[in-house]
A = this chain, B = another copy of it.
Amino acid sequence: MIEARKQRDDALALAVQPQGTPVTEGTDEFALINRLAALLDPPTHGIGIGDDAATWSPTPGTVTVATTDMLVEGIHFRLDWTTPEDLGWKAMAVNLSDIAAMGARPRHALVSIALKPDQAGIVIEIYKGIAAHARASGTFVVGGDTVRTDGPLTINVTLLGEADPALILRRDGARPGDVLAITGTAGGSAAGLALLSGEPTDSDPDRSRRLLAMHHRPSPRLHAGPALASLGARCGIDISDGIASETGHLARSSNVAIVIDVDAVPFHPDAVAMFVLERARTLGLNGGEDYELLVTLPLSLVDRARDAIASETTLTVIGRVVQDQHGGLVTATSGGLPFTLGAGGYVAF
């Protein structure tokens, strides 16, 4: 699209636009885009792949919620550690989790992939994972761009969702008196990555399989986000970067002090069983990629909130918002004593 026109012409074997049409029929790029499009469910309304842009009708009364994440081979994933299909699933998961963390519902996605000319087979597998997660989450992939690169495989997903404007989970909504609660468990994905990294452990095949699945096929809390928002939670974030760091974001954005009770955190039982408790704690507090939600809400709402999301996951109170604090502050306790959250987490601001 930009310069190096002659280089671009050489690159046409992959320089296709899922939302456009290829330059000539019968060429490789035409075949590839048709194969990719065939993997996707067509949108039930509006214009999907095949024009200059996609269109859809916003649901009246909702706001649009938009997020985008770029994943680079060698930085965010390794093709010798993940299957391309799992990679496609995860590229969607990263973005779906951000939508859920706003209390919103996903609706449409646009997917851009840069790949080497010999990676057409890989991109089809990636799209299978994208399509599977799109279907599982009720999201329509309506456009994108597939281009050539001489460098690492790079995927960018933009996810568009909708929410009731009065029910957005913001980072700045934490208030003194709220409790801090987390969906699901912490540390499972980081434990799976530790296994991939060859970290020594008391290995158990079933546990390993479960932890690797936590890492490769995360399930964003698509129901819990909107459900917690509709019950009255006003502050939420996903813990893709670990509990300590994400609590820090909430504290700083909300200008409050938050105390985490480390003993209350539901660390993943397989992570605790395979690694010592201290390591499992570090994986959960500072590891990340769990795609669980961290919310603050009044204590009086916790029981109803737990019931409302029970079909999808658990909700556990792990701390409380103790007071207003300009710039934010996060501290932690264990056994009644101060607990250092460790490198990578917010200890103070």
Which A residues lie at the B interface, using CB under 8 A?
Answer: 1-9, 11, 15, 17, 19-21, 23-25, 46-47, 50-58, 60, 62-72, 74-78, 81-82, 87, 90-91, 94, 97-99, 101-102, 104, 108, 110-114, 142-145, 147-152, 154, 156, 158-161, 163, 165, 168-171, 190, 193, 196-197, 215, 236-238, 240-241, 245, 249, 252-253, 287-289, 344, 346, 349
Q: Which B-chain residue is minimally distant from A58 (CB atoms)?
A: B58
Contact partners of A3 in chain B: CB under 8 A? 76-78, 81-82, 193, 196, 215
16 residue pairs of the A-B complex, CB under 8 angstroms, read A1-B289, A2-B71, A5-B289, A8-B75, A11-B75, A52-B67, A52-B98, A52-B99, A52-B101, A53-B102, A56-B63, A58-B62, A64-B108, A74-B150, A75-B148, A154-B154
CA distance A76 to B101 in the complex (A): 35
Contact partners of A168 in chain B: CB under 8 A? 47, 55
Contact partners of A110 in chain B: CB under 8 A? 66-68, 158
CA distance A163 to B47 in the complex (A): 13
A127 to chain B minimum Cβ distance, whole angstroms, is 15
Interface of A is mostly: mixed
Is A87 in contact with B149, judged by CB distance below 8 angstroms? no
Complex copy number for this chain: 2
Q: Which B-chain residue is minimally distant from A6 (CB atoms)?
A: B197
Contact partners of A19 in chain B: CB under 8 A? 67-68, 98
CA distance A150 to B104 in the complex (A): 34
CA distance A289 to B82 in the complex (A): 38
Q: Which B-chain residue is minimally distant from A17 (CB atoms)?
A: B69
CA distance A64 to B142 in the complex (A): 12
A17 to chain B minimum Cβ distance, whole angstroms, is 8
Contact partners of A24 in chain B: CB under 8 A? 245, 344, 346
